[in-house]
Structure 1
Amino acid sequence: MKDLSKDPTSPHSAGALERMAAGVTRWSEKWFPDAYIFAAIAVIVVAAGALAIGAPIQRVGVAFGDGFWSLIPFTMQMAIVAISGYVVAVSPLASRVIAWLARLPSSGKAAVAFVAFISIGTSMFNWAISLIFSGLLVRALARRTELRMDYRAGGAAAYLGMGATWALGLSSSASQLQANPESLPKTLLAITGVIPFSETIFLPQSMLMAAVLAVVSIAIAYLSAPGPARARTAADLGVALDERELAVRKPQRPGDWLEYSPLVTILIVALGVIWIWHEFSTKNPILAISNLNTYNLVFLLIGMLLNWRPRRFLDAVAKSVPSVSGVLIQFPLYGGIAYMLTKASATGGLPLSDHLSHFFVAISSHSSFPAVMGIYSAVLGFFVPSGGGKWIIEAPYVIEAAKALNVHLGWAVTVYNAAEALPNLINPFWMLPLLGVLGLRARDVVGFTFTQLIVHLPLVIFMLWALAATLTYHPPVMP
């Protein structure tokens, strides 16, 4: 009988994590619906929950309709994240930098681990940069056909910054809000006070957690990635990788000359640079670049400059638009979910989000609070995947409960941050811009991200509980 453990093409020769990822991937490829269906089911579940607490069906429907367009500014921001990243990547200079980085790994599994390292490292500074840059690196690595990198595993590794560490870094929405009193609603500021970075993301305990998650995530990415004999490459998946080369055409008629003249680009970029200089010179640079509008304008200007001629820039934008179709149609559904959670209630009663929060707070104690609230925040984050917006919803009762139970307030923010990232590993919401860049579907990568979640969930909850014991409560600092 043939020894299957020695056959490199056999799943029996793979490690435990690789077999787990392969098994979940096979299941998801068969059963996991399109991300749109995933969002639609979430709408139905939340609507049913609101009806269950006594909210009239008319109120539920009104909340859904009112919320449907509430994320339009954010939807546009996320679409521009994908478009600007694409436009920058197709420029000659950026393509050469990414190609240089793509030459570093020596094997397909090492390439997946390298992408995970880049994704997690960049996410500590800015989650949007992490998402797009890592996706573009995966595409470049996939062009190295001799590596036989599993394209699905590479895509999942590119997503690890959003699924593991971003909320423990500088672009953490909750930490940024709490450190800047002018950004907080006055009613919330009266409850929480100012909680500086030194009490949240720069706590030694928080940095230790981020370091542990980074090491574990990279190790899982490497161990779960299929070897060369079992890898499915971009070609195997039918993903084209050659569309990034944009030919520079010549003007066909006199009216085309401005489209091919860099003069228009230079003037627009000059105006943008003036505004950017003002932003960074009058604000904290970290806060400035963490603002999505600033980030998007910077990258659009860079894209204009690197593509140099307006015609080439417009061609790059046209090629990028298909990558944002999922964002445009699905984000409004999440806006409706958020409103049904927070605004649909029985007459004179509390909304569904408050019912959920009161239940979890009621079963908490000083020692169990981090674990219980971590689980709750992760569950709610699955339905309301918005770091800053969800913190505005949760902060009043989370901080009040932390004060009542004498829990370190900065650690309460860290509990939220660490738990907030967990549902991202299987929720298609934040995957959409990356999937558009990669030309994949959520079902292609969720087997690998679910494998990460299986390890992350108990590890994060344990660290939230264990490290809380090393901290002491301090009353809130009012501005």
Structure 2
Amino acid sequence: MSKESSQTLDRGSFLWRFSKKFNFAAENIIPDPLVFCLILTILVFAAGVIFTDYGVMGMLTSWYNGIWSQIAFAFQMSFMVVTCAVTARSKQVKSGLKKFAKLVSTPTAAVILLMAFGYASSFLNWAFCTIVTPILAMQLTKHVKGLHFPMLIAAGYSTMCLGQCLGPSASVYALLAGKDHFLVDKIGVLTQSVTTYNPMNVIVWIILAVGTIILTLKTMPPKSEVVEYQAADDDDEVEIEEPKNTFADKMNGSRVIMTLIGIAGLVNIVFTFMKNGFLGSLSLNFVIFIFLTANFLLYNTPSKFINAYRDNLSLATDVMIQFPFYGGISGMMADSGLGQIIVGGLCQLATAYTLPVFSYLSASVVNLFIPSQGGQWIVQGPIIMDAALRLNANVPHVVNAFVYGDEATNLLQPLYVIPALSVVGMKLKDVWGYMAFIWLFWCIATVLGLLVVPMFV
């Protein structure tokens, strides 16, 4: 091998060298997530004052009202993050992941295993996937040498985002399948067989899912630039026997109490599935309840249970603080009409054939300001559905495109990756460049898929 060829191989593949260019923004431009949130707040406020007639006091009032409108949702999301993290960090789940990681012995097999697991767990619940995937990544890097940990975290996080585009628990798909959603008079009830699992959506999802795995494999760095996970091993924690001298100690260490509550939870879960069916049961509260019930059984004494929640509460800090501020952004966008201006401007350029692409692009933009699929649909849904009906476009395809756009820019919008980073002790700048690199691939592939695939199905 020539000296020149050796130097080229040492630099890694073209894709690796190209992906590194995104790190400049991550290291020099991208601030901490809270700063990102506050900057967006200022930008939306200024845009509302300049481009609408809503006025300064109107924007301030909508910002204030929007903050408090999201308090309940902020707690709901925070509780879900913590509860899923408690499940993912239980010794039973960690032991299972450790054994699971030993099924592979090469970096290629490890990446495929991680991402396939991520897609599967995302179908179950996005928050669980967000927490459990980096834990599996840690186990894989301890077992398989040569894995670039920041890329694993970014790729694993991408499985959570993409999984929502074909999973039954995505907010918009679940909402439109209900009989009382707020657009039912316009578009009727759209079951998940029509929206989530129509041929176009399935094909585009498979292209993106397989393509992202291939992209990750082709972007792994040369050995000289590999960053492996270096944290201390906490898998073999010594379980401290709880004192059982007093009546209070016995109650704190009672397995009977936890078993009874766990059984009660299981009965409710089974009854709900029998009553409403699987897809009809998957509300946000019900998913949280499933994991909460699991924790009563995984942590078999009250003291272990509450200590596990104490240990994981820090994961919810950024979500609890930032969700209300994103509620304020959402309030300003909706009340001022700024959201309608952004979406309407894009949709005016569309035809029936291209409307899904414009739905995708507009959702991608709006998601940066309203990083909640349900909240974003409230602002954007009526506009793109009116456009779809007016242009006689394929409504399910337009809905699919909206979901892809909403999920794609979760790779740029840092809110939902925070819990994953907290689990592994990393900063946003460590992984944002790789996330942005994946986003670019998604953007190109999705736009092409929305234009080409409908021509054949």
Give TM-score, length-normalised by structure 2. Answer: 0.93
CA-atom RMSD in angstroms: 2.2
Separation in 2, partners of 1:41, 1:203: 39
Separation in 1, partners of 2:61, 2:245: 53
What is aligned with 2:203?
A: 208
Tell me how far 1:323 sits from its aligned partner.
Answer: 1.9
- Residue 278 of structure 2, aligned match among 277, 281, 285: 285
Separation in 2, partners of 1:309, 1:5: 61
Separation in 2, partners of 1:143, 1:79: 30
Separation in 2, partners of 1:11, 1:434: 32
What is aligned with 2:170?
A: 172
- Residue 292 of structure 2, aligned match among 290, 300, 303: 300
Partner SS for 1:229: helix
What is aligned with 1:154?
A: 152
Matched, 1:384 2:382: no
Matched, 1:367 2:353: yes
Contact 1:179 1:197 in 2 (8 A): yes
1:353–1:395 Cα change, 3 Å: same
Cα shift readout 1:391-422 (whole Å, capped 9, x = no counterpart):
23222221111111111111111121222211
- Residue 448 of structure 2, aligned match among 438, 462, 477: 462
Contact 1:147 1:228 in 2 (8 A): no
1:407–1:273 Cα change, 3 Å: same
Tell me how far 1:253 sits from its aligned partner.
Answer: 4.8
Tell me how far 1:469 sits from its aligned partner.
Answer: 4.0
Q: Which amino acid in the other structure matches residue 53 of structure 2?
A: G
Separation in 2, partners of 1:370, 1:234: 41
What is aligned with 2:98?
A: 99
1:4–1:441 Cα change, 3 Å: farther
Tell me how far 1:26 sits from its aligned partner.
Answer: 5.0
Separation in 2, partners of 1:338, 1:190: 24
Contact 2:172 2:403 in 1 (8 A): yes
Separation in 1, partners of 2:16, 2:449: 25
Separation in 1, partners of 2:73, 2:160: 17
Contact 1:165 1:418 in 2 (8 A): no
Tell me how far 1:367 sits from its aligned partner.
Answer: 2.5
Matched, 1:444 2:436: no
Q: Which amino acid in the other structure matches residue 185 of structure 2?
A: A
Q: Which amino acid in the other structure matches residue 276 of structure 1?
A: I
What is aligned with 1:114?
A: 113
Give TM-score, length-normalised by structure 1. Answer: 0.89
What is aligned with 1:348?
A: none
What is aligned with 2:190?
A: 195
Among the aligned pairs, what percent are the same residue? 25
1:309-388 correspondence to structure 2 within 5 Å:
309-343=301-335, 345=336, 351-388=337-374
Unaligned 5+ runs, structure 1 = 346-350, 472-479
Q: Which amino acid in the other structure matches residue 171 of structure 2?
A: S
1:4-83 correspondence to structure 2 within 5 Å:
5-6=5-6, 12-25=10-23, 27-52=25-50, 53-83=52-82
What is aligned with 1:474?
A: none
1:226–1:287 Cα change, 3 Å: farther
Separation in 2, partners of 1:403, 1:214: 30
1:26–1:257 Cα change, 3 Å: farther
1:362–1:26 Cα change, 3 Å: closer
Separation in 1, partners of 2:217, 2:131: 21
Unaligned 5+ runs, structure 2 = none
Tell me how far 1:322 sits from its aligned partner.
Answer: 1.9
Q: Which moved more, 1:206-215 or 1:425-434?
A: 425-434
Q: Which amino acid in the other structure matches residue 379 of structure 2?
A: I
1:410-449 correspondence to structure 2 within 5 Å:
410-449=396-435
Separation in 1, partners of 2:395, 2:342: 21
Contact 1:234 1:240 in 2 (8 A): no
Contact 1:303 1:313 in 2 (8 A): yes
Separation in 1, partners of 2:171, 2:274: 22
Q: Which amino acid in the other structure matches residue 188 of structure 2?
A: G
Corresponding pairs, count: 454
Cα shift readout 1:133-164 (whole Å, capped 9, x = no counterpart):
212212222333x5242221111122112333
